[in-house]
Amino acid sequence: MFVRAYLRASTDEQGASRAKDQIKAFAGERGLNVAAWYVEKKSGAKLARPELFRLLADDIRVTSFWSGRSTVSRA
């Protein structure tokens, strides 16, 4: 099964990309393949998040679940 992964951080120090390896491992353990990555540095309090809206436009059926400190989204 293919999934899409959304990674967001508010600051450079948080680094949205640093969770990428954890998400790859999480997906791999469950037999999932990440088909697309959506990564951005934006405040979660702001609605102006282009990568989030690109994800939603790519696949409107999104289920979110929490894994550690990362939110993983899958279609």
pLDDT by residue for the chain (75 residues), tens digit each? Answer: 888 888 887 777 776 677 888 889 999 999 999 989 998 887 777 788 888 888 888 866 555 554 445 555 544
Burial (CB < 10 A; 0-12, 13-18, 19+), residue 71, is: middle
CB atoms within 10 A of CB 10: 13
Its domain, for residue 35, covers: 2-74
Structurally, the chain folds into a number of domains equal to: 1
Tell me the sheet residues that pair with 6: 38
Helix (H) or strand (E) holding 50: helix 50-58
Can you give the pTM of this predicted structure?
Answer: 0.66
